[in-house]
Amino acid sequence: MSERTNATARVGRPLKAEQNAAAERIIDAATTLFATRGFAGTSMEQVASQCGAGKDTVYRRFPSKVALFEAVVEHAHARAVARLRDLPMAQGNALERLRTLMRELLHINMEPDLIALKRITFSEAVVFEKKRPIPPQPDPIMNRLVDAVQTAQDAGMITAGDVSLMANHLIHCLVALPTSSAMMGSAEFDTRQSVDLYFDRTWNWLYRGISIES
């Protein structure tokens, strides 16, 4: 194939990397708009304008606003998983590492964009035909938490019991409750200091229930 033919092929069919980059720009623009204007207040035309793409380009990749929003939520979840994966190894024993992991999960979930997306998913459940936000399964975040609980249990630092159940209770008390409060518009956790205060108080209360020494 001649050099001219190769150039024509590149012009006629964008490389996969270029297609992925275009989709990323659309998702980034949509994330900003959904988070600030809500689902009803965001249009595909606004997303196209925000990312500098044609409306047809947006619709080729995401056939509806619901499909685009679902892609935004999946992308946000993948980003949270990547951040968790890239965290440096926590210092200390198994219990201290579990505590550090839980604190990081809380701070990631309390970020304004994620709170806004969860609020939209909850309030627009009928539109999305879902009863509640459901992350992709199996969930790497939950898997890592279960492993951390198991490690602390194996080290004899927390009481024996159903590891998955313990992990779910930790998520509920330490992450789901404050994020739900923020989703409902409460200003109780508007600062990092208030989030850390809640975490420390709740962790100490929970630990008295699962500690070998309790």
Q: Over the stretch 100-147, which tens digit does the pLDDT of each residue have? A: 999 999 999 999 989 999 888 887 755 665 544 444 456 888 999 999
- Global confidence as pTM: 0.77
Beta strands in the chain (DSSP E): none
Query: What tokens were used for 111?
Result: 């970020």
Interacting residues of 37 by C-beta distance below 8 A, sequence separation 6+ = 46
DSSP 88: P
DSSP string for residues in 102-129: HHHHHHHHTSHHHHHHHHHHHHTHHHHT
Least confident of 4-13, 54-63, 106-115, 173-182: 4-13
Interacting residues of 25 by C-beta distance below 8 A, sequence separation 6+ = 51, 52, 53
